Amino acid sequence: RAMAEWALGHIRVFSKKIDTNFVAAESRVWDSELTEKVFGKRALVVGTGSIGTETGRLLRAVGLQVCGVGRSARAGGDAFDEIYGVDQLNALLPEFDFVVLVTPLTDQTRNLFGAHQFAQMKSTARFLNMGRGALVDEPALIGALHAGEIAGAALDVFHEEPLPASSPIRDAPNCLISPHNSG
């Protein structure tokens, strides 16, 4: 449940611009830019085990349309509208506003997300990783953020932990970082 709450919390930070509103308040700037609603947005949870299922349930409870990606396609149950097989991942990415990665690290999932996957996502999409750092090609993610291929990322896990102060991830735009404490 704690990891599901981390995902929901970061989705809310992105949609309600909590991070930028906090900075604006500190600098005494009044910025009344409209924020997004999450109700009706679409989330893809990659990893449909216990963490992914709880994440799906929580995101559905606040009005997101939630689909999952597992090893194979199957009925969605109470957590997902539908569960697709991992072989369909690339074709699904353009349809979702939030992509939440919670799959375990295996030989098959190492670097599951790289330049091709980020290029498939909407330019307005946000990517959240609370699975394992090695699931993501970090230079590709950094490049996608700098190029505006995706609108943001929230990361709780990294290839190297603790994340070095000199890591280029720290300079990536619209990137929220937490120190592997989502659980």
Q: Please identify which of the residues 1, 5, 110, 161 carries the catalytic annotation.
A: 161
Judged on CB neighbours under 10 Å (0-12, 13-18, 19+), 180 is middle
Residue carrying structure tokens 């790289």: 114
Contact between 153 and 174 under an 8 Å Cβ cutoff? The reply is yes
Active site residue 116: no
> What would the DSSP string read from start to end of 78-137?
TT-S-EEEGGGHHHHGGG-SEEEE-PPP-TTTTT-B-HHHHHHS-TT-EEEE-S-GGGB-
Please enumerate in sequence order all residues whose Cβ is within 8 A of that of 38, keeping only pairs 6 or more positions apart, or say none: 11, 12, 15, 62, 63, 64
Active site residue 82: no
Tokens of 84: 């697709």
Q: Please identify which of the residues 10, 42, 126, 132 carries the catalytic annotation.
A: 132
Q: In what order do the strands lie in the sheet with 152-155?
A: 83-85, 65-70, 42-46, 98-101, 126-129, 152-155, 175-177
Active site residue 146: no
Q: Which residues are catalytic?
A: 132, 161, 180
